[in-house]
Amino acid sequence: MVTRRSCSAACRAWISRRWQRLPDILPPGLSRGFVYEPQKSRVIFGRATVQQLPEEARRLRMSRPLILSTPEQAHQAVEIVRASGLDIAGSLPVAQMHTPVDVTERAVEQARQLGADGLIAIGGGSTIGLGKAIATRTGLDQIAVPTTYAGSEMTPILGETAGGQKTTRRDPSILPETVIYDVDLTLGLPAEMSAISGLNAIAHAVEALYANDRNPIVEQMAEAAITALGHALPAILREPGNIAARTDALYGAWLCGACLGQVSMALHHKLCHVLGGAFDLPHAQTHAIILPHATA
């Protein structure tokens, strides 16, 4: 049975065994040619950066953005928007795991009825996935405000489920226009969930190290990402309010997502997508459990 406690233990064990051996598994990279294409997303990183939401909305010419969240994070999303002073078209707290197509289609219709001219997704991978799904159907610009370490905001990948099957597609247009990383928004993430989400992030970087289309730039990003999270996650488990550790973890998560956004999905993510979509398994926990087996 997948539990937060088992994932937390897996986090400690995986880091202690693997991340110190990172130089031994890195490929030479520069001995071959490569292609590297920077992503389009504008990234704002730091503390209290969510206060820049109104400025970013104006920059993207959003006057009536629609706020997206899960039902569980609806209050947090509304409070974030209220504190920023941003005018909105409305709020849709309907995001679900694995981005069900029927949920997306209803959300698209509601966005049109509300006259939304932009999307602001506040939350983890489920919410950001819903934002991507709506954007691909409407052409609306997106601002992503992650509150976990999932990394979906930095990948041009959209996974959706229908009839118990999960399908994925990849296109640069799927990426949000702006990603706002605010360290303060991760302080309320429970320590054990932080470990699970962090292992999910690490899985992105690890896969980037053995993907067939990896390149030296991504390899260096992956090494930096795993190192940052390798230091940060044990510190967060000991002291959840450690600002320095939270900053390193969010920085590492950003790099992990960016790594996965640059390479094709390999063994780990293909396994997790099949299992998660077929059995409706929680995304981060599934990645955390599969990671040590995929790298064995």
Each domain of the chain, given as residue ranges in start order, spans 4-18+189-294, 42-186
pLDDT of residue 13: 62
Q: What is the pTM of this model?
A: 0.86
| pLDDT over 90 percentage in the chain | 68
Is 42-186 in the same CATH topology as 4-18+189-294? Answer: no
| Measured torsion, CA atoms of residues 7, 234, 221, 212, in degrees rounded to the nearest 10 | -30
Asked if residues 142 and 176 have their Cβ atoms less than 8 Å apart, the reply is yes
Which one, of 107, 110, 151, lies nearest residue 130 by Cα? 107
Tokens (6 digits) for 143: 């601002």
Give the 3-state secondary structure of residue 180.
Answer: strand
Tokens (6 digits) for 39: 């992503």
pLDDT of residue 154: 96
Does the pLDDT value for residue 193 go beyond 60?
A: yes
**Quick one: pLDDT band at residue 3, thresholds 50, 70, 90?**
low
CA 46 to chain centre: 17
Does the pLDDT value for residue 29 go beyond 70?
A: no
Strands in 65-68's sheet, in edge-to-edge order, are 42-46, 178-182, 142-146, 118-123, 65-68, 90-92
| Measured torsion, CA atoms of residues 190, 196, 197, 201, in degrees rounded to the nearest 10 | 150
What's the CATH architecture for 42-186? 3-Layer(aba) Sandwich (3.40)
pLDDT of residue 21: 52
Give domain 4-18+189-294's CATH number out of 1.20.1090.10, 1.20.1420.20, 3.40.190.10, 2.40.50.110. Answer: 1.20.1090.10
Poorest-pLDDT segment among 6-15, 78-87, 217-226: 6-15
Which one, of 286, 192, 280, lies nearest residue 2 by Cα? 286
Does the pLDDT value for residue 235 go beyond 50?
A: yes
